[in-house]
Amino acid sequence: MSDPRVQMYVKALSQRGGSFPVFQGSHRYQYGSGFGDVLRGIWKVFFPTVIRGASSFFNAGAGALKENKGVGDVLKAGNKPALGSMLK
């Protein structure tokens, strides 16, 4: 083991530290759980929007059912209010 490249490799694998370059990120900019943070942020916006849309869809559909309309008319009646409330 007189080759300096082999010695550096062995030193790096044994993880004793020393002069081997290691990336250490800044605490200010690197935090969180990785990809889960991205999904959590999307979910916090997506879930309430879907709930609002579903609520208005079913309310409009219930109104159409009270008027004894068919299934197709009930679905059509619920689309426009649901999209309007989701885009708010």
Residue 5 domain-assigned (yes or no) = no
Q: Is residue 29 part of a domain?
A: no
Q: In the predicted model, what is the mean pLDDT of residues 40-64? A: 85
d(CA 88, CA 47): 14
Expressed as residue numbers, the domain containing 42 is 37-88
Domain assignment present for residue 84? The answer is: yes
Chain segment 9-31, per-residue pLDDT in tens: 777 776 555 566 666 655 666 55
DSSP 16: -
Q: What is the pLDDT at residue 17?
A: 54
Q: Which helix (H) or strand (E) holds 40?
A: helix 35-66
Prediction pTM value? 0.48
Decide if 6 is inside a domain.
no
Domain count across the chain: 1
- What is residue 71's DSSP assignment? H
Q: Is residue 41 part of a domain?
A: yes
